Amino acid sequence: MMMIVKKQQMSFKKLVALAVLLAMMCATVVVFPDASYAASSAVIRYDQSMGERDPNVFGGAINVLDGASDVDALRAAGVTMARRDVYLSQILPNTTVAQYLADMSVPGGVDDPSTWDWSQYAWVDTYHNKGMKNMLILSYNVAWLSSSNNNNGVPKNWVVYEDIIKKIVQHFAGKVDYIEVWNEPDHANFLDLTNSGYTSRLTAYKDIYRHAANAIRTVNATIPIGGPVLSNTDTSWADAMLKDATIKPNVNFLSYHQYQQNPDGEQAIVALRNVAAANGVPDMPIYLTEWNWDWQYIGSPMNNDSVDAIPYDAQRLGDMIYQGVAGAAYFAFNKQTTHPDFYSIYANGNLTPKLSAYRLLSKQLGLGDGKFLLRGSNWSNGAATIVARGATNAAGHPVAWVVNTSTAGDQLALTFQGLKPGVQYTATAYEASRWQDATSSSFTTSFTTDLSGNGSISFWLPYKAVVGLKLTEQDNRTNLALQASATADSHVMSGFEAGKAADGNDATRWASAYTSGTHWLTMDLGAAKSFNEVDVYWETAYSVDYTVQVSANNSSWTTVKTVTGNASPGWKVHRFPLQNARYIKINSTAAAWGQGVSIFSVNVYRDEYTRLEASSSVGSYVRHQNSRGRIDATIDPFADSQFRRVPGLADSGGVSFESVNFPGRYLRHKNGELWLEANDNSTLFKQDATWWVRPGLANATRSSFESYNYPGAYIRHRGSLLYNEAVTTAQAESDATFRIYTE
């Protein structure tokens, strides 16, 4: 009641002010999430190989695009393949079947391709010369050869039809990479059965396909031929083709079209692959040769230049990659001036926003540069709805990308698993969004993996956007096994030889025969060398039990590491006392799959480790235990006393001590005590973890370590614990003096 009375006594201005304040408070409640809010997160598993994927996923269908500069723009954005029609009606002269047949034995007749009109097909050379793969569509017919007297009817003379197809393929020899027979034959507009005698488009198409393939094979025995090029995801046509023994040998890929506004994970690829597997060809390539938001010629912004097409395209491309599509053709990479309903290039030659998704994935992440390995991934939505993928590109770089399809941005926690252990990586990020077009890096950051090869970063993921990351190792050590001569007990097939484990590319691998029992891989370093670390990058077919052995003569072997019960693929680091040997053998006695093992890479290093012996307590060494810095004479595990002495984090003239068995963690002082902690990249941490190397305070032939940001304070031990303290007594000087051992 008192509050009501007071409100009644308030002036109108105060009431207005209170209303504004209450509105602001309400707005604040809306903006900030409650304590239970969880950010979006994703994990990329580089220790999981999902199989090889094809750069032809970054292809496009084209109606008309002939300008060299426009093709250059597409290539610069990462477009790898072009699908385009070859129209018989544009090439062939107007004649009759009878005349054509008569002229087949007369030089210079209407059947002579030198008399045909090729003037509209210079683009075949242009695309080929610019480095794009060409997929030709053998589009339809010509009226005088058609049962329906139009350009879409069934050929009424197979001899003439085969002769025409043969000569078209001959004309483009060496410039065409794939051939589709017809386009969307399930549509009456594209396959007219009038007067043909056929009542089924499928039956008619099978005959067209058979004759076209027969003609192609007379002049090219290997070019991939495919169909049925349906306008939808119906699998019955593909099934019928593969069940026909007269067609099946020349069905080298299956193709279809799908326009959808709600991505479904590209389940049609799975359905077609299942049909192929049921017909005895489980590895049949699947091509999605037209895809977009809407098939209608109504000028939909999502088909053309909407910025919302960026995450849509990126999500569908990622789904196609996941499902293992052999190639895809976005419809369409036309120019606005010729096809305003389906275009990707403005009239002025600039690319529409959606091409930034291609630029990010194909060019910046290198997925368009050659076949790449898809890696495992999983993700969890927070404020944003995301899809996360990872790969190792053709050059061997780990890459990842995250698509935010929602209207909310979010802080993303991204974890990488299965990278090289104990290595610093630089992550270079690219963004495709309404704000950035992926032409340059949006940010860079770095992280160091732990001994399991795991590392993580966090960044803001904008709404309706794609962020891609390319990881680069900052490992300056020399890999002694790079390009080493390698031998093995066996290899499963060509392309998986022993040398693949020594080529420096983490996307290639040695794979043994699929047999049980022992499998081995040997590296010849060319001469005896000193080393104390062998890292093995196991593929999904990893070894459970194995040894690492060394030899001077390739006959007498010493085991330096025995591994039993290995439970996962990925990088495995094996450190041991310094060895001098020429040969290294990985000897597997138990495979995870029971039959055969596979290794991406074997790296061999001589890593210099530093140990600090306390001068006043001979035999006791600096170590970490439960993160606390101390000295001990008995150390288990031994690696607790090993450090990498690196240039000072705050000043390269000083030194910092990085843990060998906890990479990325450094000795630092905190409240006067020494602790081993992860580098958070803050200025304070870098200063706390940097020391000046001074002549030993108690013995000038040894060393003392003065704090970078606390001049006059030194690393010293009191009892068994380490501190950062001012040194004022002879005992303190002795406790602050150390002998440096390098191993």
**Euclidean distance between CA atoms 135 and 180, whole angstroms:** 7
Provide CB contacts within 8 A for 646, sequence distance 6+.
Answer: 655, 656, 657, 658
pLDDT the model gives residue 146: 98
Provide CB contacts within 8 A for 654, sequence distance 6+.
Answer: 647, 648, 690, 691, 692, 693, 708
DSSP tag of 374: E
- Relative to beta strand 40-53, strand 372-380 is antiparallel
Provide CB contacts within 8 A for 548, sequence distance 6+.
Answer: 534, 536, 559, 560, 561, 563, 574, 576, 584, 585, 586, 587
**Euclidean distance between CA atoms 363 and 351, whole angstroms:** 15
- Relative to beta strand 519-538, strand 570-591 is antiparallel
**φ/ψ (deg, to 5) at 341:** -85, -25
**Euclidean distance between CA atoms 62 and 209, whole angstroms:** 23
Which residue type does 131 have?
G
Nearest to 609 by CA among 567, 653, 558, 661: 661
Which residue type does 224 have?
P
In the chain, domain spans: 55-333, 485-605, 610-742
Ramachandran assignment for 619, one of left (phi > 0), alpha (psi -120 to 50 degrees), beta (any other): left
Per run of 10 residues, the mean pLDDT along the chain (length 743 residues) is: 30 38 35 52 95 98 95 98 98 97 91 96 98 98 98 98 98 98 97 97 99 98 98 97 98 98 96 98 98 93 96 98 98 94 96 98 98 97 97 96 97 96 92 98 93 91 98 89 97 96 94 96 97 94 97 97 94 88 98 95 91 96 98 92 92 92 92 96 96 96 97 97 97 97 84
pLDDT the model gives residue 20: 37
**φ/ψ (deg, to 5) at 372:** -135, 165
- For 660, the token pair is 């060998």
The CATH number that domain 610-742 falls under is 2.80.10.50
pLDDT the model gives residue 441: 98
Cα Rg, the chain, nearest whole Å? 33
Nearest to 163 by CA among 239, 218, 85, 206: 218
pLDDT the model gives residue 457: 97
pLDDT the model gives residue 743: 74
Residue 607: CB atoms within 10 A of its CB come to: 15
Contact present, 138 and 86 (Cβ < 8 Å):
yes
Question: Strand ranges (DSSP E) for 182-285?
Answer: 225-230, 253-259
The helix/strand/coil state of 593 is coil
For domain 485-605, the question of CATH label 2.60.120.260 is answered with yes
**φ/ψ (deg, to 5) at 657:** -115, 110
Contact present, 467 and 312 (Cβ < 8 Å):
no
CA distances 658 to 345, 611, 644, 655, 682, Å, are 52, 11, 5, 10, 16
User: Which own/partner contact pairs does 26-34 have at CB distance under 8 Å and 24+ positions apart?
Assistant: 33/383
User: Which superfamily is assigned to 55-333 in CATH?
Assistant: Glycosidases (3.20.20.80)
- For 224, the token pair is 């991939």
Nearest to 92 by CA among 80, 72, 109: 109
Provide CB contacts within 8 A for 556, sequence distance 6+.
Answer: none
**Euclidean distance between CA atoms 279 and 182, whole angstroms:** 23
Contact present, 615 and 734 (Cβ < 8 Å):
yes
Longest CA span, the chain = 114
